């Protein structure tokens, strides 16, 4: 290969790739953690080096030119290769130190991970742990996290997964709402109840209807994509929510709507990129999660999950 013919800066190619993917300089600058003027100069520098115009400004965004579209194919290949190099290099590191990011849902980040992170800090103080609390599936190949706790089996052949446990959930509500609702002896009695919607609402309602509950969109006057907010709305008496049994049973201000039914089962998977399993610090975190997550879900962990303290009013002043 004639390296003298490579007449552009690869960092500028990355700036171009991220700008094309994000659609604007401001979004790309946020994604890369750099100042927008600096990013703009890198993209302009690449255009000058190559002698082509890569973007045209359309409103507040940018649109690729034909030359930009042609270059984007190769820039994406470069980006993928750079990610593979980073993953491989990370996997060869032998030091039990550095950064490990764990992604989990909001509720697992609040209820399951804190005692595990405490244990990790005790046994491996040179590892820094980042908890990525998100209800979206993290892209492990793009390094949005190193390890993920998910409710779905990984399909990508570059990812490895371990089924840790099967968790259960059911309906919970505030005692005040249950009193307002009246006697509930079976699922059919919930046809007139108010529920709190979350997640993919279009599939959420049909999923509940499969249990024989005659629900329509009118039964969901309150909704939130945040699972944590979902439970807080239920605690406030705004309707019936859904939570993991181990969480809901330990959360002040909530009761099971029906003591024994229904219980929804969902798998709990541990997932990582195949290359990262050979990294000692990631392997250590993986092994600890593999051991402790099932214990916490079952309630067997020696340090039980502590529910957030209920808020109480301060006593009236006597002065």
124 and 135 housed in the same domain: yes
182 and 157 housed in the same domain: no
Sort residue 110 into left (φ over 0), alpha (ψ -120 to 50) or beta: alpha
Q: Name the more confident of 77 and 45.
A: 45
149 and 181 housed in the same domain: no
281 found inside a domain: yes
pLDDT tens by residue, 227-249:
889 999 999 999 999 888 888 88
Peptide bond into 11 cis (omega under 30): no
Q: How many domains does the chain have?
A: 3
pLDDT-derived band of residue 38, with 50, 70 and 90 as boundaries? confident
283 and 235 housed in the same domain: no
Domain final residue pick, 75, 92, 109: 92
186 and 111 housed in the same domain: no
Give this prediction's pTM: 0.62
**pLDDT over 50 (residue 1):** no
Structure tokens at 112: 């399951």
82 and 145 housed in the same domain: no
**pLDDT over 90 (residue 194):** yes
pLDDT at 84: 61
State the residue range of the domain holding 35: 7-92
Domain final residue pick, 40, 70, 92: 92
Residues 6+ apart with CB under 8 A from 130: 99, 100, 101, 102
pLDDT tens by residue, 109-126:
988 999 999 999 988 899
Reported as type and span, the H/E element at residue 132 is strand 127-133
187 and 121 housed in the same domain: no
153 and 212 housed in the same domain: no
63 found inside a domain: yes
**pLDDT over 60 (residue 313):** no
* CATH number of the domain that residue 40 is part of: 1.10.10.10
**pLDDT over 70 (residue 66):** yes
pLDDT-derived band of residue 91, with 50, 70 and 90 as boundaries? low
pLDDT-derived band of residue 131, with 50, 70 and 90 as boundaries? very high
Reported as type and span, the H/E element at residue 119 is helix 113-123
Domain final residue pick, 92, 122, 153: 92
198 and 249 housed in the same domain: yes
> By mean pLDDT, which of 51-55, 141-145, 265-269 is the weakest?
141-145
Q: Name the more confident of 265 and 201.
A: 265
pLDDT at 87: 55
């Amino acid at each position: 290969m004639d390296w003298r013919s490579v007449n552009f800066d690869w960092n500028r190619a990355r700036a171009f790739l991220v700008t094309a993917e994000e659609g604007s300089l401001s979004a790309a600058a946020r994604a890369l953690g750099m100042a927008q003027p600096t990013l703009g100069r890198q993209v302009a520098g690449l255009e000058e080096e190559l002698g082509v115009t890569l973007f045209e400004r359309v409103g507040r965004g940018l649109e690729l030119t034909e030359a930009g579209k042609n270059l984007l194919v190769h820039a994406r290949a470069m980006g993928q290769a750079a990610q593979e190099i980073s993953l491989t290099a990370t996997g060869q590191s032998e030091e039990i130190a550095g950064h490990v990011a764990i992604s989990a849902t909001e509720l697992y980040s609040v209820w399951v991970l804190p005692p595990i992170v405490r244990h990790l800090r005790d046994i491996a103080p040179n590892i820094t742990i980042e908890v990525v609390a998100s209800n979206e599936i993290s892209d492990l190949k793009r390094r949005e996290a190193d390890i993920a706790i998910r409710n779905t089996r990984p399909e990508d052949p570059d990812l490895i997964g371990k089924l840790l446990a099967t968790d259960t959930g059911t309906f919970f509500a505030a005692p005040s709402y249950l009193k307002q609702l009246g006697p509930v002896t079976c699922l059919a009695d919930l046809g007139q109840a108010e529920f709190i919607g979350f997640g993919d609402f279009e599939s959420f309602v049909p999923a509940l209807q499969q249990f024989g509950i005659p629900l329509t969109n009118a039964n969901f006057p309150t909704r939130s994509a945040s699972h944590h907010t979902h439970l807080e709305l239920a605690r406030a008496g705004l309707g019936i929510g859904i939570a993991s049994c181990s969480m809901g049973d330990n959360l002040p201000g909530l009761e099971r709507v029906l003591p024994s039914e229904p219980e929804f089962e969902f798998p709990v998977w541990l997932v990582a990129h195949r290359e990262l399993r050979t990294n000692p610090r990631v392997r250590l975190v993986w092994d600890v999660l593999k051991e402790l997550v099932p214990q916490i879900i079952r309630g067997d962990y020696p340090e039980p999950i502590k529910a957030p303290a209920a808020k109480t009013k301060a006593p009236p002043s006597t002065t």
